[in-house]
Chain A
Amino acid sequence: MTRFSPSLIIRHLILLIGAVVVLAPFLVMLSYSLKSPAEIERGTGGLFGAQEMMVDPKCALRSAPRRADVEAARDRFPGRDDGAILATLTEEANAACELRPVVFNYRSAFQDAPLMRYLLNGVIVTASIFLLQMVIALPAAYALSKLKFWGREAVFGLVLFCLLIPVHAIALPLYLGLARIGLTNTYAALVVPWIVSAFGIFLMRQFFMTVPDDLVDAARMDGMSEFAIVWRVMLPTAIPALMAFAIFSVVAHWNDYFWPRIVVTGDRSLFTPPLGLREFQAGADGNLYGPMMATATVIVVPLIAAFMLAQRRFIEGITLSGMK
């Protein structure tokens, strides 16, 4: 049995504090997505909220009794004055609009914003980016690691240099270029600027350096062309490294708010999930934190689920220990 030595306890305490710092915002997000607006404002309700019935304000507004409704209801309430009828009708309408806060938050998330559409856009954009990045990075990395040509080291130096360029520095020229050829507000605008990934080329090149040259030579003797070697030999052996790259690429582009915000200006059908959060931004009636946090939860869940499912392979890929 392990004894709890003081140093062990201190180590775990430090790690625990780190974990809390990282996880607290997530917890708040999750908690808010479950609570009613009143609970959020007052800071009550604990983690899950009391889940007491609440009235959907939009629904209530929609079905609030009008003059005509009062007229029509006069037969049902003989002898009452209009004020009392109106009060009763309002109460009835509100009763019909009652629901649990959690249902309210998540229903608003999917109803007020076409969240499914945004999620679909997210999948389309991240998948196309990753596939195209692979199409470019694998042959480039193969050439930089296994082919001998004049200036190879210089080219690799340029790739390293590109790693140092921050996205935001070139955003404006990129935007202007895309605008000039009329590609803003298209999927292309979301995808094209990212398909050449210096990081991807660098990562795959480092991995290919560890693939024995004999394997490439054997493939050549077996009659493969250089392109066939890339797709039939290097790609399958590089799966762990590709997985690692996939995490970086997919996470970065799924969560990207900056670039979609720039190139998708009007067309809501092109919104990616993070843009969907804007739907719940402060309006006349204040921030709707509940639905907003519900949206945020829906956005991060696919990534977390994917990570959980493929956890082992991901870690394998990051440590690049898959080949031996």
Chain B
Amino acid sequence: MATVTLRGIRKSFKETDVLRGVDLQVGDGEFVSLVGPSGCGKSTLLRIIAGLEGQSAGSVEIAGAAVDGLRAADRNLSMVFQSYALYPHLTVAENIAVPLRMRRLSTAQRLPLVGRFMPGTTARLREIEDRVQDAAGTLEIDRLLDRKPGQLSGGQRQRVALGRALVRSPAAFLLDEPLSNLDAKLRVHTRTEIAELHRRLDATFIYVTHDQVEAMTMSDRIAVMMGGEILQCDTPARIYEDPVDLRVAEFIGSPKINVLPAESDSAGRVSVMGRALPLQLEPGRRALSLGLRPEALTLTRRDPIFSGRVAHSENLGHEIYVQVTLDGGGHRVVLRADPALRAGLGLGAEAGLRFDPARAMLFDAEGRRLRGVVATAPAVREAWA
């Protein structure tokens, strides 16, 4: 187990910059997710850490030692691939044993037939077999050991791929969208299992995914990547509640955060869609974006900030997502409502909305988070509450 440190990693393919200076510090035993939309460079970054791809600039350190220029095989990392990448001609047991066979046995000992008679081979082989049994036991695939990958279901192949990764003790595990080929139910199940596996092994995990739910539920920290950069790297809670960039706020959270146009006047008072808010920024006139999570909006009959009509509602059983088209401007917002309120939320029903200004997030025109937001006069604040 070890730390992984990235310093100023850049990668360009011909004219295109895929990564533009990525710094990341992954602690010993930490579970870090790289999350972002497809094409953001997260997989390339993982491949650079693995040594499967060379970086154009910057350095990778594993356990404090630079590994640049070291072959993938010599970096002591394990990787789980999206397609599982099991050897189709080998049984499950042989698949899991490959990393050990390649490392513990000499070239002569690996020879077919003759290898068995080399000194020390039998002991090594027995040791490898024990490790394979252990790994299979951990993942509950002991009964599949004699099968070929072609005879396994997607979930079983997934486990074999995990088994092949954890059969030896690498410095870190790299996982490249390992759940994206599983069906929804199995994905939720395996998510829990991988998180538990991480706790049990106490190993360093770097996990690439485009699914923010996976990142939120499993990680110690999430690095949100976009356009070849890490926009924010923090705990799931802080990424969700305190995003530093509008793109992060929009990417994380389902349903998506509501974004409404807002502006500040020369005194720094913030107003949204013509309504003054008890929010104060540095003085200066500028265009802003106001971000509101669906749960920050509440329905109200008395003195709403926005009013509109219900355009669509989705009943998930334990809660309802209500889409409301706002009067004046036609913006549509989503809010999370209690199913008990369903009766009053028919299509076209009038809905008044309000929110706690403290839960509103302000972003400037470039999408950067603006802070130093303070409530103005207490009296105004009270009137809102």
Chain A: interface size category: 10 to 19
Shortest CB distance A215–B (Å): 5
CB of A278 closer than 8 Å to a CB of B: no
Q: Which B residue sits closest to A220, measured CB to CB? A: B72
Residues 291 to 337 of chain B near chain A (Cβ within 8 Å): none
Which residues of the other chain, B, contact A239 by a CB distance below 8 angstroms?
89
Shortest CB distance A313–B (Å): 15
Contact present for B83 and A222 (CB under 8 Å):
no
Contact present for B89 and A236 (CB under 8 Å):
yes
CB of A228 closer than 8 Å to a CB of B: yes
Pick the contact of A222 from B51, B73, B88, B89 — CB < 8 Å? B73
Contact present for A223 and B83 (CB under 8 Å):
no
Which residues of the other chain, B, contact A214 by a CB distance below 8 angstroms?
81-85
Q: How far does the alpha carbon of A309 sit from the alpha carbon of B109 in the complex, in Å?
A: 35
CB of B147 closer than 8 Å to a CB of A: no
Q: Given A223-B103, A237-B89, A218–B81 Cβ distance below 8 Å?
A: yes
Pick the contact of A217 from B79, B87, B89, B90 — CB < 8 Å? B79
Q: Given A221-B73, A236-B87, A323-B88, A228–B81 Cβ distance below 8 Å?
A: no
Which residues of the other chain, B, contact A219 by a CB distance below 8 angstroms?
87, 98
Q: Which A residue sits closest to B87, measured CB to CB? A: A233
Q: Which A residue sits closest to B165, measured CB to CB? A: A221
Pick the contact of B87 from A215, A223, A225, A323 — CB < 8 Å? A215
CB of A157 closer than 8 Å to a CB of B: no
CB of A224 closer than 8 Å to a CB of B: yes
Residues 119 to 167 of chain B near chain A (Cβ within 8 Å): 164
Residue-by-residue, is B39-72 near A (CB-CB < 8 Å gives 1, otherwise 0)? 0000000010011100000000000000000011
Which residues of the other chain, B, contact A182 by a CB distance below 8 angstroms?
none
Pick the contact of A220 from B71, B82, B88 — CB < 8 Å? B71
Pick the contact of A224 from B47, B52, B83, B102 — CB < 8 Å? B102
Contact present for B50 and A221 (CB under 8 Å):
yes
CB of A212 closer than 8 Å to a CB of B: yes
Q: Given A212-B83, A233-B87, A222–B52 Cβ distance below 8 Å?
A: no
Residues 5 to 59 of chain B near chain A (Cβ within 8 Å): 47, 50-52
Which residues of the other chain, B, contact A237 by a CB distance below 8 angstroms?
87-89
CB of B222 closer than 8 Å to a CB of A: no
Name which of A215, A217, A218, A237 has the most chain B CB atoms within 10 A of its CB: A218
Which residues of the other chain, B, contact A212 by a CB distance below 8 angstroms?
83, 85
Q: How far does the alpha carbon of A217 sit from the alpha carbon of B49 in the complex, in Å?
A: 13
Residues 96 to 110 of chain B near chain A (Cβ within 8 Å): 98-99, 102-103
Residue-by-residue, is B252-265 near A (CB-CB < 8 Å gives 1, otherwise 0)? 00000000000000
Which residues on B are within 8 Å of A, measured CB to CB?
A: 47, 50-52, 71-73, 77-79, 81-90, 98-99, 102-103, 164
Which residues on A are within 8 Å of B, measured CB to CB?
A: 212, 214-215, 217-225, 228, 233, 236-237, 239, 323
Additional A-B contact list (4), CB under 8 Å, known A222-B102, A236-B87: A218-B81, A218-B164, A223-B99, A236-B89
* 16 contacting pairs across A/B (C-beta < 8 A): A214-B81, A214-B83, A217-B50, A217-B52, A218-B86, A218-B87, A219-B87, A219-B98, A220-B52, A221-B52, A221-B78, A222-B102, A223-B103, A224-B98, A233-B87, A236-B89
